[in-house]
A and B are shown apart, each in its own frame.
Chain A
Amino acid sequence: DQQVKQNSPSLSVQEGRISILNCDYTNSMFDYFLWYKKYPAEGPTFLISISSIKDKNEDGRFTVFLNKSAKHLSLHIVPSQPGDSAVYFCAASLKGGSQGNLIFGKGTKLSVKP
Chain B
Amino acid sequence: EAQVTQNPRYLITVTGKKLTVTCSQNMNHEYMSWYRQDPGLGLRQIYYSMNVEVTDKGDVPEGYKVSRKEKRNFPLILESPSPNQTSLYFCASSLSRLLRPGNTGELFFGEGSRLTVL
Contacts and interface: CB of A to CB of B under 8 A. Distances in A.
Interface stretch (A12-20, A39-47, A66-74, A78-86): A39-47
Contacts, number: 84
Contacts of B7: none
Interface stretch (B11-19, B43-51, B72-80): B43-51
The B interface, classified by DSSP as helix, strand, loop or mixed, is strand
A45 B109 contact: yes
Contacts of A105: 42
Contacts of A99: 31, 33, 48, 50, 94, 96-99, 105, 107
A50 B59 CA distance: 24
Contact of B112 (A42, A93, A98, A107): A42
B107 A36 contact: yes
B42 A100 contact: no
B4 interface: yes
B90 interface: yes
Contact of A42 (B33, B104, B111): B111
A93 B105 contact: yes
Given A36-B107, A99-B94, A107 B99 contact: no
A25 B97 CA distance: 22
A107 B98 CA distance: 24
A43 B109 contact: yes
Contacts of A104: 35, 42-45
A43 B91 CA distance: 9
Interface in B71-116: 90, 92, 94, 96-101, 104-112
A102 B104 CA distance: 13
Nearest to A54: B101
A86 to B, nearest CB: 13
B74 to A, nearest CB: 13
Interface of A: 6, 32, 34, 36, 41-46, 49, 51, 53-54, 89, 91, 93, 97-100, 102-107
14 contacts: A34-B104, A41-B111, A41-B112, A43-B109, A44-B107, A46-B108, A49-B104, A51-B101, A97-B98, A97-B105, A99-B97, A99-B107, A104-B45, A105-B42
